[in-house]
Amino acid sequence: MVGTAENFDAVVIGAGFSGMYMLKALRDKLGLKVRVYEAGETVGGTWYWNRYPGARCDSDSYIYCFTWDKQLLHDWEWSERYPEQPEILRYLEHVAERHDLKRDIQFNTRVTGAEFDEDKALWKVRTDTAEKATARYLIAAVGSLSDTNMPPFKGIEKFQGKWCHTSRFPHTGIDFTAKRVAVVGTGATAVQAIPEIAQQAKHLTVFQRTANYCVPARNGKVDPDLARARKADYDGVVKRIRESFFGFEYNFIPKSVLEATTEERDREFDRMWDAGGFAFWLANYQDMFFSQEANDLCADYIKRKIRKTVKDRVVAEKLVPKGHPYGTKRQPLDTNYYETFNKDNVLLVDASTDGPIEEITEKGIRAGGKQYEFDIIVFATGFDALTGPLKALNLTGRGGRKLEKAWAAGPRTYLGIAVAGFPNFFTITGPQSPSVLSNMPVSIEQHVEWIADCVDTMRRSGKTTIEATRQAEDQWVAHVNESVNTTLMPRANSWYMSANIAGKPRAFLPYLDPEGVGGYRKRCDEIAAKGYEGFALS
Ligand code: NA7
């Protein structure tokens, strides 16, 4: 279709969890003509791109899946508590096959721009394959963490070894055997990759800018009786995660940690530590996210664990987090992460004590005035989170206004779903929605269903455009910021706060609803029930 534009009811950008379900909902439920554009060569999104060693999900598999295909919920058997990337990709391929999704997805095609034609009330979409399409609705299903952050390290072009970013890891893998390897970064990705790479490499050097609080994943086979019981109660499970705070079967301990005795506190901490996963982060005492004093008690417990696990005192102190409250950065789940630093072939270079990375050289990395030599450098430096992938779409709304311009000082949305001045454009788990502060499939399904209902309502009522009002957007932006300011989150230089990338305006990127994802769902439904309050329909 090079040259002429094909017309669709909706164009969806991205074929990960969200794009796949959006296609299913619009095409098979509403009967619309839909085109999905996907830059990768197949479905999967995050699970297509992130192929580094140790890449696996951090949510329990029984709730990290689609809940709209009830038969599949019962039929699919996950091999582990946290499945690895290839297994999740296999699952998504299976869903695509089962629902015949691929016939409406154009792979190996990146959307390079879209503009709203005000006269025709249509989006005009362009791609890197010179394809043109028009659509009444434009839906970004681009993922929250898909725009790779590759910091502009001086000298990177000189390096004579191999290097890659974890989210663009070669499909053929990298053989680290007998190699001197560097990993840059110690976020959730690096925490998964480091123990795996250390097992293969001759020598591994880890470059840490900020020490993280890691808690054990406790991955493994799921007890078959438990798996059966969950399947038998899937309706209950789905209801609970939808109404929960974070999209998991977790609830806070309804008490202040400061009111608990030392024995009681340690018993609870041990219980959560032993349970593994996000329990310590998302099911801790209710004041952990709000009170520094309460938070310190939780943080101290993890610091004690680090000091107990890491044998070398100096290394242990480098790994002990400083300067940010516990839980205010994305919780990495670890499998032998701290133990890895007890190995003779592993070295930790910490920016504060050893000096930051100064440049990449022909032979390796210079940090703190010292030269380190490598055959391979793995950058686990994260993403331009949430706003990055949307700005990259090069969108032009009403009056020629660019999305990058509208968001120059940080994201501005209504409900994290719509943007004033960008009619008929929706974001699935976009900025200022719970997104990355929830179990993603739960939030994805909520947005997809809300958007599909909205499109259905529009069509039934003969309306052609829906657009967030400026006033509703202003109020939402203020509310997102007020909500987060009641917590300790702003005290960390996290990617949640846009602080991982030099020059990115500091703004809280997701949304923390005071009532959790359950409350957010209710809020969105009430707005729809009131005839899409805060939106202008015409
Ligand atoms: P993260 O969590 O952003 O981690 C990136 C890491 O790279 C982190 O340790 C950063 O240090 C470090 N980093 C980033 N830029 C630099 C520069 N310029 N120099 C040195 N070190 C740097 O990304 P992940 O991929 O680990 O995790 C992202 C999400 O993917 C994760 O939360 C899951 O949801 C899946 P910093 O902490 O910013 O000081």
CATH of the domain at 396: 3.50.50.60
Q: Are residues 195 and 266 in the same domain?
A: yes
The predicted pLDDT at position 4 comes to 81
Q: Are residues 396 and 344 in the same domain?
A: no
Secondary structure class of 364 (helix, strand, coil): strand
The pairing of beta strand 370-373 with beta strand 364-367: antiparallel
Do residues 426 and 418 lie in contact, with contact meaning Cβ atoms separated by under 8 Å? yes
Q: What's the total number of domains in the chain?
A: 2
Q: How far is residue 292 CA from its own chain's centroid?
A: 26
Within a domain: 465: yes
Report which ligand 1 atom has the smallest distance to the Cα of 436.
34
Which residues are paired to 375 by β-bridges? none
Give the Å distance between the CA of 381 and the centre of ligand 1.
4
Q: Are residues 285 and 217 in the same domain?
A: yes
To test ligand 1's pocket by mutation, which of 500, 501, 504 has the most ligand atoms within 8 angstroms of CB? 500
Report which ligand 1 atom has the smallest distance to the Cα of 191.
26
User: Phi and psi at residue 108, in whole multiples of 5°?
Assistant: 55, 35
To test ligand 1's pocket by mutation, which of 88, 148, 189 has the most ligand atoms within 8 angstroms of CB? 189
The predicted pLDDT at position 235 comes to 97
Give the Å distance between the CA of 184 and the centre of ligand 1.
9
Q: Are residues 34 and 108 in the same domain?
A: yes
* Structure tokens, 126: 């362009």
Report which ligand 1 atom has the smallest distance to the Cα of 502.
18
Within a domain: 90: no
Report which ligand 1 atom has the smallest distance to the Cα of 151.
18
The predicted pLDDT at position 284 comes to 98
Give the Å distance between the CA of 332 and the centre of ligand 1.
11
Nearest CA to ligand 1 atom 25: 382
Report which ligand 1 atom has the smallest distance to the Cα of 212.
37
Within a domain: 503: yes
Do residues 527 and 409 lie in contact, with contact meaning Cβ atoms separated by under 8 Å? no
Within a domain: 172: no
Q: Which of 41, 56, 40, 16 is nearest to 142 (CA)?
A: 16
Give the Å distance between the CA of 262 and the centre of ligand 1.
34
Give the Å distance between the CA of 474 and the centre of ligand 1.
30
Q: Are residues 314 and 447 in the same domain?
A: no
The predicted pLDDT at position 1 comes to 45
Ligand 1: residues with CB < 6 A are: 145, 151, 184-190, 209-210, 330, 357, 380-383, 495, 500
Q: Are residues 413 and 426 in the same domain?
A: yes
To test ligand 1's pocket by mutation, which of 88, 324, 330, 504 has the most ligand atoms within 8 angstroms of CB? 330
Q: Are residues 473 and 375 in the same domain?
A: no
Q: Are residues 478 and 412 in the same domain?
A: yes
Residue 371's domain spans which residues? Answer: 184-379
Nearest CA to ligand 1 atom 16: 381
Secondary structure class of 126 (helix, strand, coil): strand
Within a domain: 173: no
Q: Are residues 520 and 373 in the same domain?
A: no
Which residues are paired to 182 by β-bridges? 205, 377
Within a domain: 348: yes
- Given 363, 379, 395, the domain boundary residue is 379
Q: Are residues 271 and 312 in the same domain?
A: yes
Nearest CA to ligand 1 atom 17: 151
Nearest CA to ligand 1 atom 3: 382
The predicted pLDDT at position 504 comes to 98
Give the Å distance between the CA of 125 and the centre of ligand 1.
32
Q: Are residues 9 and 121 in the same domain?
A: yes
Give the Å distance between the CA of 358 and the centre of ligand 1.
17
Looking at 22-153, which runs of residues are DSSP E strands?
34-37, 105-106, 111-117, 122-127, 132-140
Going residue by residue through the chain, which has 538 residues, state the pLDDT in tens, using 9 for 90 and above: 456 889 999 999 999 999 999 999 999 999 999 999 999 999 999 999 999 999 999 999 999 999 999 999 999 999 999 999 999 999 999 999 999 999 999 999 999 999 999 999 999 999 999 999 999 999 999 999 999 999 999 999 999 999 999 999 999 999 999 999 999 999 999 999 999 999 999 999 999 999 999 999 999 999 999 999 999 999 999 999 999 999 999 999 999 999 999 999 999 999 999 999 999 999 999 999 999 999 999 999 999 999 999 999 999 999 999 999 999 999 999 999 999 999 999 999 999 999 999 999 999 999 999 999 999 999 999 999 999 999 999 999 999 999 999 999 999 999 999 999 999 999 999 999 999 999 999 999 999 999 999 999 999 999 999 999 999 999 999 999 999 999 999 999 999 999 999 999 999 999 999 999 999 999 999 999 999 999 999 9
Torsion of CA 328, 387, 442, 26, to 10 degrees: 180
Residue identified by tokens 């390079």 is 112
To test ligand 1's pocket by mutation, which of 209, 386, 438, 498 has the most ligand atoms within 8 angstroms of CB? 209
Within a domain: 196: yes
- Given 379, 405, 430, the domain boundary residue is 379
Within a domain: 245: yes
Exposure of 250 by Cβ count < 10 A (0-12 exposed, 13-18 middle, 19+ buried)? buried
Give the Å distance between the CA of 238 and the centre of ligand 1.
31
Q: Are residues 368 and 419 in the same domain?
A: no
Nearest CA to ligand 1 atom 28: 382
- Given 362, 379, 396, the domain boundary residue is 379
